[in-house]
Amino acid sequence: MPTDEMWINMGPQHPFNHGLWNLRVKLKGETITQAEPIIGYLHRGWEKMVENRTYSQIVPLADRLCYGSSLSWNHLYCLTAEKIYGIEAPDRAKYIRVAVLELQRITSHLTWLMAVGTDLGSYTIMTWSIRERELFLDLLCKLSGARMTYNYCRIGGVRSDLPENYERDVNRTLDEFEKRLRDLESLMDENEPFLMRTVGIGKMDGKTAMNLGLTGPIMRASGVEMDLRRLDPYEVYADMKFD
């Protein structure tokens, strides 16, 4: 049955969501033939706010650039200031930073998976992702006193040392998460509706990904070995071996 092309707006989404934007898409039936992203709906004026603050006062503001990965942002700000002023953090602080950054990375990816499950109509994926994320939010809360915006890194180090028995708690959490991760994987890899909505959809080759300046998991999923922790290591990543 022939169908006419039509433009529709996906958004703008509610300001509660980070990364607020509007996406205009042209549809022919259920196929998107063209897309036009429109950004700028949630400009925070961050650059202006920091003009009247001390360097230390900027750290909690950096947290709020993205609550889903806030530790990464306050670490990035502190690392930038250290490089500008030639400050070297102690080795212990560097290792602590890397450890908690990886915990934050897991929570961020689980937040992404939660959103994917919601968008694809798989609410089991969504709820299981939320459940597993809680394990790591509890660890970060024990470290910093907050569940989302941690205000933990400092220029020249971190705010405090690791809490008592923190290494034990992290290892127990990782052991438990590894078991649950297998269930999450099977929920997607063996889920026919999920596969129908993802396999072969939105494919992108490595060259296109490079031209668009993509990074991280999206770049690696396009077949390009791209990981700044290896290509341009910071902190103590150069001393570590990881997959």
Pairwise CA distance, residues 222 & 203, whole Å = 8
Q: Choose among 194, 195, 224: nearest CA to 209.
A: 224
- Give the pLDDT band of residue 103 (cuts 50, 70, 90): very high
Q: Are residues 3 and 105 in the same domain?
A: no
Asked whether the predicted pLDDT for residue 160 surpasses 90, the reply is yes
- Domain range enclosing 6: 1-43
Q: Are residues 13 and 68 in the same domain?
A: no
Q: Are residues 37 and 124 in the same domain?
A: no
Q: What is the DSSP string of 92-133?
A: HHHHHHHHHHHHHHHHHHHHHHHHHHHHTT-HHHHHHHHHHH
User: Are the C-beta atoms of residues 38 and 21 closer than 8 Å to each other?
Assistant: yes
Give me the mean pLDDT over the 110-124 stretch: 87
Q: Are residues 28 and 79 in the same domain?
A: no
Q: Are residues 64 and 39 in the same domain?
A: no
On whether residue 238 sits in a domain, the answer given is no
Each residue's pLDDT tens digit, 198-233: 888 888 899 999 998 888 888 888 999 888 888 899
User: Are the C-beta atoms of residues 184 and 177 closer than 8 Å to each other?
Assistant: no
Q: Are residues 37 and 93 in the same domain?
A: no
Q: Are residues 97 and 70 in the same domain?
A: yes
Q: Are residues 77 and 144 in the same domain?
A: yes
Q: Are residues 64 and 177 in the same domain?
A: yes
